[in-house]
Amino acid sequence: MTTAADMLRGGIIAAGHGTRLRADGHHASKPMAPVGGRPLIEHTLDRFRAAGIRRVTVIINERSDDCRRWLGGHGQDFNLDVIVRTTPSSYVSFQLVAARLARSPALITTVDSILPIDDFRHFVRSAAGFPSDAVVLGLTGHVDDDNPLWATLDVSDGRILRLGAKLRPRRSGGFHLHPHPTCASLHNPRIQLQRYRGLANRNAGAGCG
């Protein structure tokens, strides 16, 4: 039987330079930074694997040869589309990944989004219950970021009213589900905000909006 996850494609934004990691003495690329003895990119692929998503587009920067080699040796059970491009911002990386996933329902995440596998699957299942044209953004109350993306929620229905203003104690968790990620829609914030819904991380003590 075909499930919603079978129809989803995945995207991983992993082109960051890891400036803070390098300042702390880490020499590997950001997606290869070890967490619990395994690289960030492995944790991210594990979450997609557990959710049944095997068609994944990954963007890494041109200095991430270690990650490119790792993907070649550890991603055989995925249909991987790897973009090697150094970009000026994560938003540009997002646009490149979204363009590859155009016209298909997609779940896009940053490589440094850390959450338990069960919570990731919960997000996929819960997001599937929203209207078919909704964009669902994962949110968290935990903030450990120099430049977080803040979200203002309508607490009555979970709709995101504003992105970028620190008016509610929620920030982007670095992952979201988009029904059809096209470059045209990504360039129109007004249209996007009419469709954005927030889904809080259960570990932050909140449920669905």
Q: CA-CA distance, 51 to 130, in Å (whole number)?
A: 17
Q: Is CATH 3.90.550.10 what the domain over 4-203 is classified as, yes or no?
A: yes
The answer, yes or no, to whether residue 205 has pLDDT greater than 60, is no
Hey, is 180 helix, strand or coil?
coil
Domain residues of the chain, as ranges?
4-203
Highest mean predicted confidence (pLDDT) among 42-56, 117-131, 143-157, 174-188: 42-56
Q: 76: pLDDT confidence band, cut at 50, 70 and 90?
A: very high
The answer, yes or no, to whether residue 145 has pLDDT greater than 70, is no
The answer, yes or no, to whether residue 192 has pLDDT greater than 50, is no
Q: Which residues contact 140 (CB under 8 A, 6 or more apart)?
A: 170, 171, 172, 173, 200, 201, 203, 204
Give the distance, in angstroms, between the CA of residue 94 and the centroid of all CA atoms in the same chain: 9
The pLDDT, as a whole number, for residue 48 is 95
Q: pLDDT over 70 for what percent of the chain?
A: 67
What does 103-145 look like in DSSP terms, one character per residue? TS-EEEEETT----HHHHHHHHHHHTTS-TT-EEEEEES----
* Inter-residue contact 96 to 59 (CB < 8 Å): yes
What's the whole-number mean pLDDT along residues 193-207?
43
Q: CA-CA distance, 32 to 22, in Å (whole number)?
A: 12
More confident residue, 48 or 178: 48
More confident residue, 70 or 155: 70
The pLDDT, as a whole number, for residue 177 is 66
The answer, yes or no, to whether residue 193 has pLDDT greater than 80, is no
The pLDDT, as a whole number, for residue 135 is 83
What's the whole-number mean pLDDT along residues 104-133?
87
Give the angle 200-206-207 at the CA atoms, nearest 5°: 70
* Inter-residue contact 151 to 137 (CB < 8 Å): yes
Burial 73-107 (b: 16+ CB within 10 A, else e): eebeebebbbbeeebeebeebbbbbbebbeeebbb
Hey, is 6 helix, strand or coil?
helix
